[in-house]
Amino acid sequence: MKIEKNSAVTLHYKLSDVAGKVLERSEEPMTYLHGGYGNLFVKVEQALEGKTAGCQTTLELAAQDAFGERDESLVQVIPKSEFPPGVKVGGQLQAQGRDGRARMFSVAKIKGQSVMLDGNHPLAGKALRFSLTVTEVRPATDDEIAHGHAHGAHGHHHS
Ligand code: ZN
């Protein structure tokens, strides 16, 4: 069957930057509910619409169609003395953004006694290339449609 609204689609994916450097690849296939439920980027769903199992496709997304542009107001410099000992580049912590809401920040840089925190998604501001291989297409169940996500072996698991 073809991928259409309320299809449960199983696929393998590989995510690269536009220079071809692989950033992430699926270890196991994943299943998502197709049809604008916000499970995949809109442009990726558009590329998959009408495709069938066995189909392979590669597409490039501009940053604004993927994880968004970088927001430099999410970069904050904080004195090292305010951190527990052992703060490291690449570490993550939850902190309050300027809007007062909690969000995840990663330690981007440590220079002398200053620590630069970045609240942007690590892939924000990057154009990305998706290589997708569809392995299975089936109609979604009523439960899946009600929940807005796919269930089953490679889908969402409820605890
Ligand atoms: Zn569910």
Q: pLDDT category, 85, cuts 50, 70, 90?
A: confident
Alpha carbons 74 and 105: distance in angstroms, whole number: 8
| Mean pLDDT across 19-27 | 93
36, part of any domain: yes
Calculate how far, in angstroms, residue 158's C-alpha sits from the geometric centre of ligand 1.
6
- Does one domain contain both 30 and 108? no
Alpha carbons 33 and 10: distance in angstroms, whole number: 9
Calculate how far, in angstroms, residue 35's C-alpha sits from the geometric centre of ligand 1.
16
2, part of any domain: no
Containing domain of residue 63, as a range? 7-67+124-147
- What's the pTM? 0.81
CB 138 within 8 A of CB 8: yes
- Does one domain contain both 130 and 111? no
Q: Comparing 134 with 102, which gets the higher pLDDT?
A: 134
Calculate how far, in angstroms, residue 147's C-alpha sits from the geometric centre of ligand 1.
5
Given CA atoms 83, 89, 92, 94 in this order, what sign does their dihedral have?
A: positive
For residue 43, give the H/E element and its range.
helix 42-48
89, part of any domain: yes
CB 35 within 8 A of CB 6: yes
- Does one domain contain both 61 and 113? no
Alpha carbons 55 and 5: distance in angstroms, whole number: 17
Calculate how far, in angstroms, residue 152's C-alpha sits from the geometric centre of ligand 1.
9
pLDDT surpassing 80 at residue 96: no
47, part of any domain: yes
The pLDDT score that the predictor gives to residue 152 is 87
77, part of any domain: yes
CATH number assigned to the domain comprising residue 80: 2.40.10.330
Q: pLDDT category, 41, cuts 50, 70, 90?
A: very high
The structural domain count of the chain equals 2
Alpha carbons 3 and 116: distance in angstroms, whole number: 44
Calculate how far, in angstroms, residue 22's C-alpha sits from the geometric centre of ligand 1.
30
- Does one domain contain both 11 and 59? yes
